[in-house]
Amino acid sequence: MEEPLISSHDMPATGSLIGGKWRNSERTFEVRDKFTGRKIADVAEASREHVALAVATARKAMESAAQSPHERASVLRGAADLLQKHRRRFEELVLADTGFTIADAAMEVDRAIITLNLSAEEAVRIVGEMVPFAASPGAHRRLGWTQRFPVGVVCAITPFNSPLNTVLHKVAPAYAAGNAVVLKPSAYTPLTAALLGEILLEAGMPAGFLGIVHGDGDSVGSWLLEEQDIAFYTFTGSTRVGRIIQQAAGLRRTQMELGSIASTIVCADADLDRAIPKIANAGFRKAGQVCTSVQRLYAHRSNFDEVVERLAAFAATLPAGDPRLPDTRIGPLISEAAAKRAQTWIEEAAACGARIRHGGRRERSVLEPTVLTEASADQKIWCAEAFAPVIAVHPFDSMEQAYAGANDTPYGLAAGVFTQDVDTALRAASRLRFGTVQINEASSARSDVMPFGGVKDSGFGKEGPAYAIREMTEERLVVFNP
């Protein structure tokens, strides 16, 4: 018999978390290691009754077990300490859940600790502002101020590509603001979220303030949309699903981080020693499965050949394979089907004249980091979100041409520009229609403290604890007329 990848001691509960108790069900689904394909666990899929009970329990908890801001901050700091204490378990679960490399799994834990501590800080400084009534004739004696209150039960639906930190970017600010949360993690990566639930309870979060329901979007996700006691939906995933959630939410509030085709522009004056490693990391880390991963790279025609040559050479230094080996830099995609799809897109582009400068080969779910040139505008590898370790490079002659190319997608999440010219940088910030424009960084550079969100079909609303708390609270005006 094969040795299990994760010991039974390290395995978290695999049921639905409702009211502080883990509940099993007759229906289960398998979780498999993304590199070996071996089964890790059977996870209980939430029933319709479980979903309704989780929402009702969350609502009741807000009415009967509310904590003060100081208490919520203490819980979040305690969870950060527990996460550090149990980081080995978390890293192993993240690696098995996702196929991340050792370095990427460690970074996921590091950033999650930061997110918890940032949320704790924000929990105790949720304030409104004074209203300048003196500006209105006859109202100058009035006093007015705003206060912020929890919005209600928050439903968090999270993706596979950040099973700990993205989950916390939703759960931690929601709780910091005084809301209860019902979480539906990705069915690809449920184990990390389950262990997170355990440590949040251990840290002192009231039992009803976190529910976790497992399953796929067609069943559990749809049932969550039917629950009218949910006041706010926060979702990271595809634009297609985002539209379904938005339609079901009606007048209820939402925060959506949706699809993306991220671009980075390398200007003629760019420092390539600085730019190339950042671009490669942004395009290939987590096997390219990041919504801001560099997919389109625009290089000025004067340095196009050098950019391509250096990027391909850098990609060749990034071993792809077993994520548990210390030297591996590119692990598997979330499934073999995802890797086959990306390889098919590469081959289709090559058949139509694109040149593969490096990579393109696949072994099961592992796809080599790939650099392409001369992909036509109608090829999927250029005009659809690849979510794979693939960078397509295209030359440009003028900055306006580069801006137009980057803007020419339905999406607008993040873009990067490498230049040493201040005027070019400021012009890029105004011309690129993206939620984030990075100067001398690639599109996929993120600090957990910053506001993060997109425009156009990439969604709306902001993550980042301070900004997410504003999304997840109601602003109330108080007027005192002496």
Domains and CATH numbers, the chain: 16-258+458-479 (3.40.605.10), 263-448 (3.40.309.10)
Side chain identity, residue 473: T
Give the number of other CB atoms < 10 A from CB of residue 36. Answer: 17
Summarised one tens digit per residue, pLDDT across range 163-174 is 999 999 999 999
Answer yes or no: are the C-beta atoms of 45 and 26 closer than 8 Å. no
460 Rama class: left (phi>0) / alpha (psi -120 to 50) / beta: beta
How many CA atoms, within 13 angstroms, populate the side-chain half-sphere of residue 477?
8
257, 385, 441, 471: the active-site residue: 257
Summarised one tens digit per residue, pLDDT across range 172-199 is 999 999 999 999 999 999 999 999 999 9
Q: What is the pTM of this model?
A: 0.96
Q: What is the pLDDT of residue 2?
A: 44
Q: Which residues of 66-102 are buried (b: 16+ CB within 10 A; e: fewer)?
A: ebebeebbbbbbbbbebbeebbebbbbbbbbbbbbbb
Q: What is the pLDDT of residue 89?
A: 96
pLDDT at 10 over 90: no
Q: What is the pLDDT of residue 278?
A: 98
pLDDT at 1 over 70: no
Summarised one tens digit per residue, pLDDT across range 363-377 is 999 999 999 999 999
Determine the Cα–Cα distance for residues 29 and 14; give it in Å rounded to an integer: 10
Give SS3 for 314: helix
Summarised one tens digit per residue, pLDDT across range 402-417 is 999 999 999 999 999 9
pLDDT at 6 over 70: no
Answer yes or no: are the C-beta atoms of 230 and 51 closer than 8 Å. no
Answer yes or no: are the C-beta atoms of 209 and 175 closer than 8 Å. yes
Catalytic annotation present for 257? yes
Q: Where are the alpha helices (DSSP H) in 23-68?
A: 48-64
227, 291, 385, 471: the active-site residue: 291
Determine the Cα–Cα distance for residues 12 and 296; give it in Å rounded to an integer: 39
Closest-CA residue to 330 (of 272, 290, 372, 296):
290
pLDDT at 237 over 70: yes
For the chain, the first-to-last Cα distance in angstroms comes to 79
Q: What is the pLDDT of residue 316?
A: 98
Determine the Cα–Cα distance for residues 154 and 402; give it in Å rounded to an integer: 40
Tell me the pLDDT of the chain averaged across its residues: 96
pLDDT at 8 over 90: no
Using a 10 angstrom Cβ sphere, with 0-12 exposed, 13-18 middle and 19 or more buried, the burial of residue 468 is buried
pLDDT at 225 over 80: yes
pLDDT at 69 over 80: yes
Q: In the chain, count H helices and then E strands.
A: 15, 23
pLDDT > 90 in the chain, percent: 97
Q: What is the pLDDT of residue 11?
A: 87
